[in-house]
Copies of this chain bind each other. A is one copy, B any other.
């Protein structure tokens, strides 16, 4: 007899279940069982039910029996694994404190909501790859450490290590590897894991993780419009396909979800600034919009919004100034509505040696660290290109419609909260 999943639709009344015992109410003979399909509350009946109820929570058992109007009639059971001690954590209810979720993630990840979001992310990533492959983009594997990481992190700190006694930095962005690889393969992408020590207060933005995943594309000789269109096509493809193939999963997480319908509204930074001022935010030209101001501007349009052409002085390293007005970069952010905020950051790359040098120095980084990259630029190894990074966990959070990004990853690491699993 094959094993049935708890949440299997139309399973026969005679079943074989392979389940964890999650919770029990001895008085009423009711238990909560778990398997990869989710959690199910059932009343155990029959002569063997009493013994089964004596097992500690998180026992792993095979139960053979049948469903009836009274509950699950236990005909036989076998214990496969028993804990030494009960976890003492009721993971059938998710606490509101994200610190608790991160600290006890090995338990709370068993909650059906978290499990569903991880399945959603797995499927979303599959469709992202499918789309990028179909457009001729080659997937490359990202480095974990390098002699010099991205010099232009805004606000966050890089992590450091030693390899054979030499200083290395942990990957916080694959920008330089993208630019060099685009000069070989033309169209490439990384599904890059990154780690950054975010300021502790970013735990409350709901969209910052210490470890996170960027879908990082780069395209040699592409224009600003080329890569914006590519992102729009990708988001349309992925969100439509999710609804066509997995509407049950998506709607069970987010009843109001709708596939994205590009083209999205585009405004320049200067326009965004004016709208922010109209909405009561005080922000000076050249400053970054605060998370709140950005969210309010996006909500003003109630659809995903491209903000383009940020001032050169506010954004380091990556972008090429606009030839017609070099105070502004040829760059962009995609801001999701309803407060979900920035999900894509990209633009046309700076690839001219002297400009890259100047920007690294302006960021206070020692120039020698970047010698391999600067040398590669000098000798023609970095072509003009454009690209972007899409935050996978941020996209997952938006599709799933959850408040905090903590549930959009496994084993989350949160700003300011070390020592989690």
Contacts and interface: CB of A to CB of B under 8 A. Distances in A.
B421 A372 contact: yes
A115 B185 contact: yes
Given A184-B109, A384-B80, A421 B373 contact: yes
A26 interface: no
Interface stretch (A165-173, A223-231, A263-271, A333-341): A165-173
B380 A410 contact: no
A420 B87 CA distance: 47
Given A106-B180, A165-B418, A411-B143, A380 B170 contact: no
Interface stretch (A40-48, A117-125, A240-248, A300-308): A117-125
Contact of A378 (B85, B194, B380, B421): B85
Which of A58, A88, A142, A144 lies at the interface centre, i.e. has the most chain B CB atoms within 10 A of its CB?
A144
Nearest to A164: B418
Nearest to A20: B380
16 contacts: A35-B186, A86-B379, A87-B381, A115-B184, A126-B133, A141-B410, A144-B144, A144-B170, A144-B193, A145-B211, A147-B419, A147-B421, A159-B161, A163-B195, A163-B413, A177-B411
Given A122-B138, A143-B411, A379 B213 contact: no
Contact of A60 (B58, B161, B197, B380): B380
A178 to B, nearest CB: 11
Interface string A10-29: 00000000101000000000
A221 B18 CA distance: 10
A144 B409 CA distance: 13
Interface of A: 18, 20, 35-36, 56-60, 80-88, 106-107, 109-110, 115, 118-119, 122, 125-126, 129, 133, 138-147, 159-166, 168, 170-171, 177, 180-181, 184-187, 193-195, 197, 200, 210-211, 213, 221, 351, 353, 372-373, 376, 378-381, 383-384, 392, 409-411, 413, 416-421
A186 B35 CA distance: 8
Contacts of A372: 106, 420-421
Given A84-B379, A159-B161, A372-B106, A142 B418 contact: no
Interface centre among A80, A86, A413 (most CB of B within 10 A): A413
Contact of A81 (B60, B143, B211, B380): B380
A238 to B, nearest CB: 16
A64 to B, nearest CB: 16
Nearest to A87: B379
B159 A195 contact: no
Closest 8 CB pairs of A and B: A83-B380, A58-B380, A87-B379, A166-B418, A164-B418, A372-B421, A36-B186, A161-B161
